[in-house]
DNA sequence: TACTGTGAACCGCTTCACAGCC
DNA sequence: GGCTGTGAAGCGGTTCACAGTA
C-alpha cells in the first residue's frame, strides 16, 4: 500500500470495481481503460485512477488496465485474496437465507458457525450447519478460527450478540439488525440496513414528484 | 422543506435518527438534546442540528427536541408518514426471507406482489402472496398501485427485472442483486450489497492487523 | 441557564488538467 | 496517439463558535 489513510468511499467503490471487473472477465474482456470502467460503474474516470493510486500503479499508460491483473491487485489490496471464517448469530428468516446463500462462500467468506439463543432452534440443521447456543460462541470461535461475525438477530438482541462475538475475539462485525451497537475501537463494524435504503428511495420519489408538480 | 438540495449523507442519517428516536420513545424518553441524540447515533451534535435545519426548526432552545414531535417531523420530511406498496422480483432464499420479514410492513412498506420467472415458482404461495410471472408486472403494478420495486434475482437477471419494473411504471428500485443496473433518471435506485460491507470489514481487519504489527 | 439555529471556517473527497510513459 | 498517474483547484459536507431564544 502506498498511502496511509484511505477514504471510506474509496473502499466501497473498490468493491464495485471488483463486481464489474468479474463480469468483464466472464465476458472475455482482457483490457479496460479507466474511462470504460468508469462508465460501467457510474463514476468519474479520475476517481478510479485516484482510488487505485492509493494502493499502487496497476495500469499501463496508453493501454489501460489488464482486467485479470487489476482484479487480483484490488482483491489483494482489500484483503479478500484469502478466505475468512464467519459466524452468523440469529437464525431467523434472514439468517437462514444468508446461510443458504452461495455468494458468501463464492467470495471467500465461509459461514462455519450458526448461533441462536432460542432452545427450539438449537440443534436444528441449516445449510449443513448445526445451530449452536450463542453462549458457546467463545469456545466455537477459537475452535473454528472465526474472525468475522454476522448479526441477524432482532434489534433488541443485537447488542448482546455483539457482546458475545467481541468477547469471543471476533475482529469485525456485519450487523443486519436495525439497531446501533457499541463496540471497542479495534473491532470493525458495518451496518446493512435495508430500511435505510428503502427510506431513501421513498424520499427521492417524493422529491421527484414535488419537482414534477412545480 | 426549507432547502433545495439535501446531501445524500443527511438522508441516511435521518434514517438512523428515526431508528434511535423510536427506541427512545419505547423507553419512555420524551425530550432529547442534539447532544444526547448525537451520542446515541455516533455523530457530531452540530451535524444533527444542520441535518434537521434542511427541513425546518423542530427544536426548542434551552430544552431540546420533543421525541414524538421530532420523529413525526422527520418521517414527514422523508415521505414515510404514509404507506407504500412494494413489489418484490425474484423469489429465491433472500426474496422469501424479505417477504416473510415483518419489518417492511411495520415501517409502512407493504409487499403486495411477488414475482419470478421460474415456472416452478409461479403459483406458489409465500407469506400469503401468490408468486406471479414477472411478465405480468405491468398489469399488476397498476392494479395494485405499486410504486417501489425490490430486486432479489441473481445478478445476471437484475437488469431484466429492472426493465420490467420500469416499464410497469415503478418510481423507485431497491436492488439486492450484486450487479449495477441502468435506469432512467427519474427512477430512484438504491443498492443493498452486503458483500460490499463484508469486504469493508475484511479490509479494516487487515488494516488494523498491519497497524498492530508495526 | 441551557440548548437550538446558523454563518463562517475547515477539511477531505472529487474533478480537472496535464505531465509522464508505453 | 492514447491512456495512466498526480499535483492543484474546486466543491460539498462537517465542525466550530456564537448569536438567538425559551
Residue A2 CB: number of other CB atoms within 10 A?
10
Residue nearest to nucleotide D4 (CA to C1'): A61
pLDDT-derived band of residue B52, with 50, 70 and 90 as boundaries?
very high
The residues of B between 19 and 48 with beta carbon within 7 Å of nucleic strand C are 32-35, 45-46
pLDDT-derived band of residue B103, with 50, 70 and 90 as boundaries?
very high
Q: How far is CA A136 from CA A112, A116, A143, B197, in A?
A: 14, 10, 11, 26
**What angle, rounded to 10 degrees, do the helices at A8-26 and A67-78 form?**
140
Nearest-CA distance from A136 to chain B in Å? 23
Quote the cell numbers at residue B142.
397498476
* A 66-95 residues with CB < 8 A to B: 78-80, 84, 86, 93-94
B213 pLDDT exceeds 70?
Answer: no
- Nearest-angstrom CA–CA distance, A158 and A117: 12
Domains detected in chain B: 8-77 (1.10.10.10), 84-195 (3.40.50.720)
For A160, residues 6+ apart whose C-beta sits below 8 A from its C-beta are A134, A153
Question: Chain-wide mean pLDDT for chain A?
Answer: 95
Phi, psi of B32 (to 5 degrees): -145, 145
pLDDT value at residue B60: 96
Phi, psi of B140 (to 5 degrees): -70, -35
Element (H, E) at A22: helix A8-26
Asked if the Cβ of residue A9 lies within 7 A of any atom of strand C, the reply is yes
Phi, psi of B64 (to 5 degrees): 135, -145
Q: Do A19 and B206 touch (CB under 8 A)?
A: no
- Nearest-angstrom CA–CA distance, A127 and A101: 9
Question: Using CA of residue A192, residue B11, residue B46, residue B26, what is the dihedral sign?
Answer: negative
pLDDT value at residue B117: 96
B1 pLDDT exceeds 90?
Answer: no
* Residue corresponding to grid cell 434475482: B153
Q: Which has more pLDDT, A185 or B136? A: B136
Residue nearest to nucleotide C12 (CA to C1'): A7
Beta bridge partners of A191: A175
- Nearest nucleotide from residue B52 CA, by C1' atom: C5
SS3 of A40, please? helix
Residue nearest to nucleotide C15 (CA to C1'): A46
- Would the annotation count B113 as a binding residue? no
pLDDT in tens, A35-49: 999 999 999 999 999
Nearest-CA distance from A141 to chain B in Å? 16
* Best to test chain B binding among A14, A183, A200 (most B CBs inside 10 Å): A200
Cα angle value A181/A92/B99 (rounded, 5°): 105
Tell me what the mean pLDDT of segment A93-111 comes to. Answer: 96
Q: Do B186 and A208 touch (CB under 8 A)?
A: yes
- Nearest-angstrom CA–CA distance, B150 and A69: 34
Q: Do B94 and A78 touch (CB under 8 A)?
A: no
Quote the cell numbers at residue B128.
400469503
Q: From A180, which residue of chain B is nearest by alpha-carbon distance?
A: B41
Q: Do B199 and A147 touch (CB under 8 A)?
A: no
A174 close contact with B: CB closer than 8 A: yes
A184 close contact with B: CB closer than 8 A: no
pLDDT-derived band of residue A211, with 50, 70 and 90 as boundaries?
confident
pLDDT in tens, B77-89: 999 999 999 999 9
* Best to test chain A binding among B90, B145, B194 (most A CBs inside 10 Å): B194
What pairing do the DSSP bridges indicate for beta strands A31-32 and A65-66? Answer: antiparallel
**What angle, rounded to 10 degrees, do the helices at A45-53 and A8-26 form?**
110
Nearest-CA distance from B135 to chain A in Å? 24
Amino acid at each position: 500500500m502506498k498511502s496511509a489513510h484511505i477514504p471510506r468511499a474509496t473502499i466501497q467503490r473498490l468493491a464495485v470495481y471488483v463486481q464489474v471487473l468479474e463480469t468483464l472477465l466472464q465476458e472475455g474482456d482482457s483490457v479496460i481503460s479507466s474511462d470504460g470502467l468508469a462508465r460501467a460503474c457510474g463514476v468519474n474516470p479520475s476517481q478510479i485512477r485516484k482510488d487505485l493510486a492509493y494502493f499502487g500503479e496497476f495500469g499501463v499508460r496508453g493501454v489501460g488496465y489488464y482486467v485479470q491483473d487489476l482484479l487480483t491487485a484490488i482483491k489483494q489490496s482489500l484483503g479478500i485474496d484469502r478466505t475468512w471464517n464467519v459466524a452468523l448469530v440469529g437464525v431467523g428468516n434472514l439468517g437462514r437465507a444468508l446461510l443458504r446463500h452461495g455468494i458468501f462462500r463464492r467470495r471467500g467468506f465461509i459461514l462455519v458457525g450458526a448461533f441462536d439463543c432460542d432452545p427450539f432452534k438449537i440443534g436444528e440443521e441449516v445449510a449443513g450447519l448445526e445451530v449452536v447456543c450463542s453462549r458457546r460462541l467463545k469456545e466455537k470461535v477459537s475452535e473454528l478460527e472465526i474472525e468475522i461475525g454476522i448479526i441477524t438477530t432482532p434489534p433488541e438482541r443485537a447488542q448482546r450478540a455483539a457482546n458475545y462475538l467481541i468477547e469471543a475475539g471476533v475482529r469485525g462485525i456485519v450487523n443486519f439488525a436495525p439497531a446501533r451497537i457499541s463496540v471497542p475501537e479495534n473491532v470493525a463494524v458495518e451496518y446493512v440496513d435495508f430500511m435505510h435504503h428503502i427510506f431513501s428511495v421513498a424520499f427521492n420519489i417524493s422529491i421527484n414528484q414535488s419537482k414534477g408538480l412545480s
